[in-house]
Amino acid sequence: MWRFAGALALAISVQAGATDTPPAQILFRCSDDTWSVTLYGTGEGRLLLETRSTGAGTTGNVASSWDEVREGYVRGQGGGHQGHLRLFDGFRQIILFAGEDGELADQPGRTYAGALTVTERNPQQDFAVTCMADETNTALLGNVRAWAERTGAKAPAPEEEGGPFDAWF
């Protein structure tokens, strides 16, 4: 079922690109041995998140039915930083992040990226992905802001200062 829904959602996105609407843009991509996560921004101003379990070959797509899209940025560790985008659909929090470790961290200068989910009703469905930082995922927040401006989509709101998601991931 997930595979069919995922293929259908991507087919709709690709077909929409055949009109005057620009094709979907990759805003973030991260994968490891277990999961792959890609965030697309469509020309219609919608966010489409694709998750794939690389072991089981299943795909799930979650379109922009987000109740909330937030962005956060933290500094610390003697010059370290991390930015994140949090998507909430009423059921799960999906957090995409990228950062660099500071001088006080175990590996100063290490860059990293990842994604994780937090579900309150069914934590067994949660997953986490870590990957090497690359040009696309380290520019996550800038990519999303530029995409929102270009398409007229609503830009992410900032995280609540001192709130539960104003944190390192």
Residue pLDDT, tens place only, 53-94: 876 556 666 555 678 899 999 999 899 999 999 999 888 899
Q: What angle do CA 18, 135, 138 make, to 5 degrees?
A: 110
Residue 3 has pLDDT above 70, yes or no: no
For residue 68, report the phi and psi dihedrals to the nearest 5 degrees.
Answer: -155, 135
CA 49, distance to chain mean position in Å, is 7
The per-residue pLDDT for 133 is: 87
Residue 122 has pLDDT above 70, yes or no: yes
More confidently predicted of 38 and 12: 38
21 contacts: CB under 8 Å, gap ≥ 6:
42, 43, 44
The per-residue pLDDT for 65 is: 65
The reported pTM is 0.81
